[in-house]
Amino acid sequence: MAQPKDIALSTQPDFATRMSVSTSPSAAFHSPPSSFSSKLPQRGLTKQLKPFNSKDIKILLLENVNQSGRNILTGQGYQVEALKTSLPEDQLIEKIKDVQVIGIRSKTKLTEKVLREAKNLLVIGCFCIGTNQVDLEYAAKHGIAVFNSPFANSRSVAELVIGEIISLARQLGDRSNEMHQGTWNKVSAKCWEIRGKTLGIVGYGHIGSQLSVLAEAMGMTVIYYDVVTLMGLGTARQVPTLEALLTEADFVTLHVPELPETKNMISTAQLEKMKEGSYLINASRGTVVDIQALINAMRSGKIAGAALDVYPNEPSANGDYFNRQLNQWGEDLRSVKNIILTPHIGGSTEEAQRAIGVEVSDALVRYINQGVTLGSVNLPEVNLRSLTLDEPNYARVIYVHHNVPGVLRKVNEIFGNHNVDKQISDSRGDVAYLMADVSDVNLGDMKELFDALEALSSKIMVRVLY
């Protein structure tokens, strides 16, 4: 069987650059057991092609993305620049002009102002759970896919919260600080076991549900509140309102996204509804808790302890930056007793960062090389079965377009003189995503298809992969 060959593009470099890159899915083919494999129909092996012009794909990774992710991307032959910190906006704007891919964590803000300068950008990788640092709507309207890692650090965050629950219940932070200052203060007053206590989880997603299992294993009763009805794990019980949770729980932990609806969802009124001497933990987003209201509730004794891993404004780099200039209540917060303050480290474990690096980088490679949008948070999720070694002269055409009537008719008219082996289209709001594999095409055919799609008024982005 003839091996597939890259199509030389040296005669038309401008077209090659505009058309981007391609390959087909690289998942390994596993044969069934020999006892029955001969009875099953066999497809050709998946193409193991590298993108022809992979060196033209420039990737900028910020905020010390884990080496596991960097290895995957460099292994594809892409040009990868990795920095340990985020960048000031002016430097970010200058850097982003030349890259097709940018990878960030939580500190880098990809606003409309920044993205307007990203003329070559194809895809954004958020090496974290949250995507609120990216203008998702602007990215979608310009055909820029955004991927994140919604699962990989769930366990790390859940374990941190369990540790904080125990630490708050035993006032470990205060005792440790006292010992560091040479003070021996052995007390048991208002120190508790967590066994038999009630944990209230606000947001029963990937983290909340894992936390639920860990807490029950330690003898806690678990209740949870979520905006959708979800089946509880173990004996965990869903309550109908946030108020019901606050009045019943000894410990309240927050695991919700940053939305207009969640801003200051825990403020003075909610803190007043909590049990006397209860505890609050926030490892979700900094805007979810009204910090000044929390300070007041702790000083009055209403709240016996709190743990915060996130804040409304966070420094963009490590150093002595968590001060009054950043957040005006900073000194007051540090003066409160039995409060654990950590610098957004919920997902900062070796295991979580390795897993995030692999998960996001794999998604980036699939999108760059194959056009697959599975897992995208802002574009329709579209996939096609892989091409095989038996299909050497195929092009995968990707057409991101405005979701308006008549587009598919015009696209299929363009495809009319070619054999479309398979095609799929889906929409999400005002943006639609179409993929089609066209057989028996040469470089001239691909250029013709590309130019014809580019000329349509509905066009957002066109890519031809081969």
| Pick among 3.40.50.720, 3.40.640.10, 1.10.3720.10, 3.40.50.300: CATH of 154-341 | 3.40.50.720
For 4-52, how does the pLDDT look when each residue is reduced to its tens digit (9 = 90+)?
333 333 333 344 434 444 333 333 333 333 333 333 344 555 553 344 4
Q: Is the pLDDT of residue 321 over 90?
A: no
439 SS3 class: strand
Q: Are 336 and 97 in contact (CB under 8 A)?
A: no
Q: Is the pLDDT of residue 3 over 50?
A: no
For 104-145, how does the pLDDT look when each residue is reduced to its tens digit (9 = 90+)?
998 899 999 999 999 999 999 999 988 989 999 999 999 999
What torsion, rounded to 10 degrees, do the Cα atoms 200, 206, 210, 211 define? -30
Q: How many CB atoms lie within 10 A of CB 444?
A: 9
Of 464, 456, 453, 462, residue with least CA distance to 404? 456
From the candidates 142, 344, 366, 401, which is the catalytic residue? 344
**Predicted pLDDT at 443:** 84
Q: Which residues contact 171 (CB under 8 A, 6 or more apart)?
A: 187, 190, 191, 305, 338
From the candidates 70, 285, 401, 463, which is the catalytic residue? 285
- 413 is an active site residue: no
271 vs 269: CA distance, rounded Å: 6
From the candidates 248, 314, 391, 448, which is the catalytic residue? 314
Least confident of 55-64, 125-134, 194-203, 312-321: 312-321
21 vs 50: CA distance, rounded Å: 9
For 64-73, how does the pLDDT look when each residue is reduced to its tens digit (9 = 90+)?
999 999 999 9
**Predicted pLDDT at 325:** 82
Q: Is the pLDDT of residue 278 over 60?
A: yes
Query: What would you report as the CA-atom Rg of the chain, rounded to the nearest whole angstrom?
Result: 26
- 285 is an active site residue: yes
* DSSP state string for 342-410: -SS-TT-SHHHHHHHHHHHHHHHHHHHHH---TTBSSS-----PPPBTT--S-EEEEEEEE--TTHHHH
Q: How many CB atoms lie within 10 A of CB 311?
A: 22
- Mean pLDDT of all residues in 339-344: 96
- 314 is an active site residue: yes
Rounded to the nearest integer, the mean pLDDT of the chain is 88
- Mean pLDDT of all residues in 384-406: 87
**Predicted pLDDT at 316:** 75
CATH 3.40.50.720 residue ranges for the chain? 13-27+42-151+351-465, 154-341
82 SS3 class: strand
**Predicted pLDDT at 141:** 96
Q: Which residues contact 188 (CB under 8 A, 6 or more apart)?
A: none
**Predicted pLDDT at 383:** 94
For 215-269, how does the pLDDT look when each residue is reduced to its tens digit (9 = 90+)?
999 999 999 999 999 999 999 999 999 999 999 999 999 999 999 999 999 999 9
Q: Where are the alpha helices (DSSP H) in 79-171?
A: 89-96, 112-115, 136-141, 154-169
- Mean pLDDT of all residues in 428-443: 93
| Pick among 3.30.1330.10, 3.10.180.10, 3.40.50.720, 3.40.50.2000: CATH of 13-27+42-151+351-465 | 3.40.50.720
